[in-house]
Structure 1
Amino acid sequence: MRYGIAIFPEKKIQDTANSYRKRYDPHYALIPPHLTLKEPFEANEDDLKQIVGELRKVAAETKPFPLQIHKVSSFSPVTNTIYLKVEPVDELLKLNERLHTGNLPQEKTYTFVPHITIAQKLSHDEYSDVFGSLKMQSFDLEQTVDRFQLMYQLENGAWTVFETFTFGEEKN
């Protein structure tokens, strides 16, 4: 089964992201706005028990940190993806690193760029129009992050939460 690890921001940030995703993100119905901490990976039930144990340990050792968004950015020219740029605070970068060590799957296809996708798979002209107008806007979105979620993918491509891991909590 395919799994991934993400942070789901609070409602205000999700509402802002969804105001764009409804129109510009074909994955809108498959998963709510999120910040991917670990890209999708395959795991079986035996692996999963070990992974969940490791994630509990990671969460217990992590302190809450700020999630701040002030502008949009893009992965152009690689893809026509537009995203809310999440400030790369040390705690977030350390959490991402920790989720790629120990008994956790360590593959990384991309360099970690903290972001929440709001538009993807746009034509070049549409991308230019949308990004051109969005990059002139400033955003003042902030929250404290105190948890992350282990997700799994359903047969229809949608993602759902398997377990939530709260920072500073030790669960057995």
Structure 2
Amino acid sequence: MIGVAIPIPDPYGSALQSKRASFGDPLADAIPTHITLLPPTEVDGEALGVVEKHLRRVARTERPFRIRLHGSGTFRPVSPVVFVSLAEGIGDCERVQSRVLSGPLSRTLPFPYHPHVTIAHHLADEVLDRAFKDLAGYRAEFEVWGFSLYEHGDDGVWRRQRDFVFGSGSGPDT
């Protein structure tokens, strides 16, 4: 099982992960803070090389862009999720996501793509309400340098496997 996402850099990523844990979200320590580009997807191990080649091609032709996070949002009542909203960088995320979801990763998503940073998921309504209120004034800005490939471990933890840097298509370990 793999996923592709824009990691949220520190200090924002770790602070939001701690905030998620403070709401009692059991997945807080298993999911690094991110903006999803490719949701959890089953990939045959032998196809991983083709997937990585595709991701390098996508990254190679992209350029860094700015993300500005501002305030909270929710997908309720459709899905019990509270998130930090993007105020800048939405179109850039949509473009990159569309390109990631092509070629060997082409698939139909169950919901329209909406870039966001999940902060609470599948928790009691009163906890989701508190998360929504607590993050209503949240603000952060950072430059997006690229995206990362994550793998879902047997222990249920998502781990960053490889970075794909915009303009070069690969990270320092590629």
TM-score (structure 1 length as normaliser)? 0.89
Residue 125 of structure 1 deviates from its aligned partner by 2.5
The residue number in structure 2 matching 1:99 is 100
Paired with 2:119 and 2:101, the residues of 1 have a C-alpha distance of 25
Q: Return structure 1 stretches of 4+ with deviation > 4 angstroms.
A: none
* Secondary structure of 1:103 counterpart: helix
Deviation at 1:133, TM superposition (A): 4.4
Return the alpha-carbon distance in structure 1 between the equivalents of residues 138 and 122 of structure 2.
23
How much does 1:89 deviate?
3.0
- What's the counterpart of residue 78 of structure 2? 78
Residue in structure 2 matched with residue 58 of structure 1 by the alignment: 58
Q: 2:117 maps to which residue?
A: 116
In 2, are the aligned partners of 1:26 and 1:121 still within 8 Å (CA)? Answer: no
Residues 22 and 28 in structure 1, CA contact (< 8 A), matched pair in contact too: yes
Q: Give the deviation of 1:127 after TM superposition.
A: 2.3
Q: Which amino acid aligns with 1:12?
A: P
The CA distance in 2 between the partners of 1:4 and 1:61, in whole Å, is 20
Q: Determine the C-alpha separation between the residues in 2 that align with 1:159 and 1:43.
A: 15
Give distance in 2, aligned partners of 1:18 and 1:103.
31
1:97 CA displacement: 0.6
Which residue is 1:128 aligned to? Answer: 129
Aligned equivalent of 2:165: 166
3-state SS of paired residue (2:57): helix
Mapped partners of 2:152, 2:168: distance in 1: 26
Q: Is the 8 A contact 1:65 1:92 kept in 2?
A: no
* Runs of 5+ consecutive residues of structure 2 not aligned to the other structure: none
Contact in 2 for aligned 1:31/1:158 (Cα 8 Å): yes
Q: CA deviation at 1:170?
A: 4.5
- % identical aligned pairs: 27
For 1:115 and 1:69, the matched residues in 2 are separated by 9
Structure 1 residues 121-153: Cα deviation after superposition (integer angstroms, max 9, x where no partner): 221233234324443xx2221001011111111
Q: Distance in 2 between matches of 1:31 and 1:122?
A: 16
Between the two proteins, the alignment pairs up a number of residues equal to 169
1:70 and 1:139 in contact (8 A); partners too:
yes
Aligned to 2:44: 44
Partner of 2:16: 17
Tell me the distance in 1 between the aligned counterparts of 2:131 and 2:160.
31
> 1:33 is matched with which residue?
33
Q: 1:64 to 1:102 in 2, by over 3 A?
A: same
Deviation sequence 1:58-105 (CA, Å, 0-9, x none):
000111011110111111112331111123532211001111112323
- Say if 1:83 and 1:115, in contact at 8 Å, map to a contact too: yes
Deviation at 1:29, TM superposition (A): 1.4
Separation in structure 2 between the aligned mates of residue 91 and residue 65 of structure 1, nearest angstrom: 7
CA RMSD in angstroms, aligned pairs only: 1.8
2:22 maps to a residue whose letter is R
